[in-house]
Amino acid sequence: MLVFKTSLKLKKFLNSKGVSVGLIPTMGALHTGHLSLVERAFEENDYVVISIYINPTQFNNLSDFKNYPQNQKKDISLLKPFSKKIIVYIPENKEIYPDGIKSNSYDFGSLDQHMEGKFRDNHFNGVATVVEALFKNTTPNKAYFGEKDFQQFKIIKSLVEQKRINTKLILCPIVREKNGLALSSRNKHLNSSQKKLASSIHFTLKKIKRIYDQYDVNELEKIFIDKIEDSKQLKVEYFCIASENDLIPIKNIVNNKNFRVFVAVYVGQTRLIDNIKLY
């Protein structure tokens, strides 16, 4: 395993090898979901670069940024069992923000107007800024993202198209705990009781998928909220059914269209997101 802190040395090494590169952008606090991306990336590339960088500009809450879980030693230990051709890229702020920590401004149309974009001001500008910098600094052939952050994936896809970045994006399935809870670095903030309660998020999403053709969107939202908030420790921030193409919320479900349910739920003080494809 190799660890780089500067893109200059990283690109020099990769260029000397003349190999295909897969990139997995992360903010650390690695878990099994990240490792599944690593496994997929090794199937398709000679070298795999995992970036670890907690990006300040994608947080709209300073305490959330400060409390974001981090343990680089543990992260690196999780990656050691993989091939020697794994590279950990841990950039400092100046590597990502050479002109000072400030996000770029992008136009993503409707993609960043709803769900996370509505409740997290400037979040996707921050995400796009760091991902654009990571693509520039690592020049990957492919980049891998988890389906849990489907809206983020659509944003990055738009970024790649707008900037004509020569990187193929790969969307990988959500990895879940045995109880159905989507794996997330934020799960580390949950105790065992909260994790058990949070499993109702996926359980209820599956119920919505089974019955979505029997109710209108408002009724489905009420069914979801009533079930989730049956526990006083859970609070729904949003429930949204949107087209996968433009991420615009819908009022009526039309068969043979690609729709997805997006939710954000607070479990105590911890905010979790999840989604499920309807059709």
Q: Which residues are catalytic?
A: 34
Per-residue pLDDT of the chain (279 residues; tens, 9 = 90+): 899 999 999 999 999 988 999 999 999 999 999 999 999 999 999 999 999 999 999 998 888 898 899 999 999 999 998 878 999 999 999 999 999 999 999 999 999 999 999 999 999 999 999 999 999 999 999 999 999 999 999 999 999 999 999 999 999 999 999 999 999 999 999 999 999 999 999 999 999 999 999 999 999 999 999 999 999 999 999 999 999 999 999 998 887 689 999 999 999 999 999 999 997
44/8 Cα distance (integer angstroms): 24
Domains and CATH numbers, the chain: 2-172 (3.40.50.620), 185-277 (3.30.1300.10)
Tell me the one-letter amino acid at 216: D
Residue found by looking up tokens 């489905």 in the block: 220
Report angle CA 24, 181, 65 to the nearest 5 degrees: 55
What is the sign of the dihedral through the CA atoms of 269, 172, 205 and 252? positive
Residue found by looking up tokens 């739920």 in the block: 265
- 176 bridge partner residues: 182
Select from 27, 26, 12, 20 the least CA-distant residue to 42: 20
- Full DSSP string of 25-47: EE-S---HHHHHHHHHHHHH-SE
DSSP state of 1: -
- Full DSSP string of 194-208: HHHHHHHHHHHHHHH
pLDDT at 225: 98
23/279 Cα distance (integer angstroms): 30
- Could you tell me if 251 and 275 are in contact, meaning their C-beta atoms sit under 8 angstroms apart? no
48/24 Cα distance (integer angstroms): 8
DSSP state of 249: B
**pTM value > 0.85:** yes
For 70, the 3-state DSSP assignment is: coil
217/230 Cα distance (integer angstroms): 20
Secondary structure element (H or E) that encloses residue 92, with its range: none
Q: Measured between alpha carbons, how far is residue 191 from residues 97, 197, 212 in Å? A: 35, 10, 32
Which stretches of the chain are assigned E, i.e. beta strand?
Answer: 2-4, 21-26, 47-52, 86-89, 142-146, 168-172, 234-243, 259-267, 270-277
